[in-house]
Structure 1
Amino acid sequence: MSIGAGAHHEGERGFTLIETIVALALMGLLLSALAAITAQWLPNWNRGFGRIQRSELIGIALQRISADLAAAEYVPPNRDTRHPLFDGTELSVMFVRTAMGPNAGPGLDIVRLGETRDQGEFVTVRSRARFTPLAAGVSLSEQTHFGDPVVLLRAPYRLSFAYAGPDRIWKAAWRDADKLPAMIKLTIRDAASERVLSVSTIAGLHVQVPFDCTKADGKCDDDKPDTGDSARAAGQGAKR
């Protein structure tokens, strides 16, 4: 029995020490090649994924800003003023719209979209304040205290505004005008490279004139002061 078992084991062959070392060396080379490929591919994948995420966030921000601007209403600041409460500059815009939000009741809000500093960086923020008739001769910023800030864009992206009337001539500011702008251009730039992103867009406003200017004759009654009730009625009628 022992002689047969010994003869059987003599017919079996295993890996020699040299073959084992060679196999381990080949495996090490293969793993090194895979690690090098992964080190080159993974950062590119992460950058591409990051760009997609940023594009989605920018797209969501622009949709929200465009919807806000489209809902702007022709509401004068008080009974003695005919021009609408609208203050637009290159880096911020303030306007009146129907109150919107889970805790917002019926009424109007003054909405501000613009830049502010957060931890040393520029961020685009939406904030709001309840609309009440403003005192004449006092600036809007002195009478309005905005709250409920919502960050829409963060560095390195910066948002700028431009305004145009029916003539489609773009302006860097829109203040104390008799009408609301017909269009507002939203331009997003990379602050580091100053490159304009392709996701920049144009928002159209639904209302440019007071409600009493939409009569059949197309004329406004300039002698009649606008209390703002007509503009609110127009906004409510549009919602219905």
Structure 2
Amino acid sequence: MTSVRRRVDRPAEHGFTLIEVLAALAIGAAVIAGTAALIHNVALNFDRGTGLAGKTDQLLLAVERIAADLGSARQVPLGRGVKTGAAFVGAPGQLKFIAAGGPASGPQGEEVVSLTVEDVDGAARLIRRRAPWLGPRTLFESVALRDPIELIEGQVDISFAFAGVGTDGHLTWSDSWRGQPLLPLMVRLTIRDRASGAELLPGTEFALHAGAPIGCARAGASADCLKGGAPEQTPPAKVRPNNEPTNEPGNEPAGARG
């Protein structure tokens, strides 16, 4: 008897091979990694942009505060002698002067203001301090300042310079102002980034008493530029050598006001 074999056709089985699964996993991992890197870069750039904007705002607010203080600086002599110096101390990292104050100022409506550059943990900070000015019997050098406020902070170099009229009739810039008979005409603030050396606020000068127009800050400017500004409250400040005596015999002690 002849046996007949029946051929049974089974439907083909569909699926992924191991290689296909591994390739799909690799592609998926690459897509996820790329997406994560993109999100990280976007967030990082956003944070940097926000930080830069915040620092710019801080610098602008600091400049406004300094401009208000220096714009209200008062010409207060330390005695009655002809060569008596004014109550103003200026150095590359420090300013100290008498300015118009607010409700918390002294009986004459004035206060002593200082701007000091301090280095804390490798970062420069410009600190403002104040104290009421109690009058001519108060020793300017010994006033105890308080109420510290941080105006600027960061990896920067901060310095001041001061301008007066030199013997040649031109504005002369100096990195110190002490013992001069009058206040400087202008004060320059320089802020440089330590990493790049770039100046963050180029051309930042402040006129004291609004007696000097900002055009006087140009290099080589003549004292004639003062004619274009507001009327001066005091004669042009002339730079006097630091070794010139500041007191004459018979003068009142330092701190007496004319």
- Regarding TM over 0.5, the answer is yes
Question: Identity over aligned residues, as a percent?
Answer: 29
User: 1:65-102: per-residue Cα shift (whole Å, max 9, x none)?
Assistant: 111111101111345575421111111111111112x5
Q: Comparing both structures, which one devotes a greater share of its residues to helix? A: 1
Aligned residue for 1:169, secondary structure, equals strand
Residue 209 of structure 2 aligns to a residue in which SS?
Answer: coil
Partner of 2:248: none
Which residue of the partner structure matches residue 200 of structure 2?
197
Where do 5+ consecutive residues of structure 1 fail to align?
A: 1-15, 215-224, 230-240
Tell me the matched-pair count: 198
Structure 2 residue 205 is the aligned partner of structure 1 residue 181? no
1:207 to partner: Cα distance: 5.9
> 84, 88, 97: which one pairs with 1:86?
88
Root-mean-square deviation (Å):
3.5
TM-score where L is the length of structure 2 = 0.63
- The 1:44/1:108 distance shift into structure 2, 3 A limit, reads same
TM-superposed CA distance for 1:183, in Å, is: 1.1
Corresponding residue of 2:112? 110
Whether 2:95 is the aligned partner of 1:96: answer no
Distance in 1 between residues matched to 2:146 and 2:197, nearest whole Å: 31
Equivalent position amino acid for 1:165 in 2: G
Residue in structure 2 matched with residue 159 of structure 1 by the alignment: 158
Counterparts of 1:212 and 1:32, CA distance in 2: 69
1:51 paired residue number: 52
Q: CA deviation at 1:179?
A: 1.9
Query: 1:119 Cα shift?
Result: 5.4
- The equivalent residue for 1:124 is 126
Q: Spell out the pairing of 1:6-85 with structure 2 (5 A cutoff).
A: 18=16, 27-79=28-80, 82-85=84-87
Change (3 A) 1:134 1:190: farther
Q: Which has the larger radius of gyration?
A: 2
Is the 1:91–1:115 Cα contact (8 Å) retained in structure 2?
yes
Q: TM-score, normalised by structure 1?
A: 0.67
> C-alpha distance in 1, partners of 2:34/2:200?
38
Does the CA contact (< 8 Å) of 1:116 and 1:122 recur in 2? yes
Matched position secondary structure for 2:62: helix
Amino acid at match of 1:73: R
Q: Which range is displaced more, 104-113 or 51-60? A: 104-113
Query: What is residue 244 of structure 2 aligned with on the other side?
Result: none
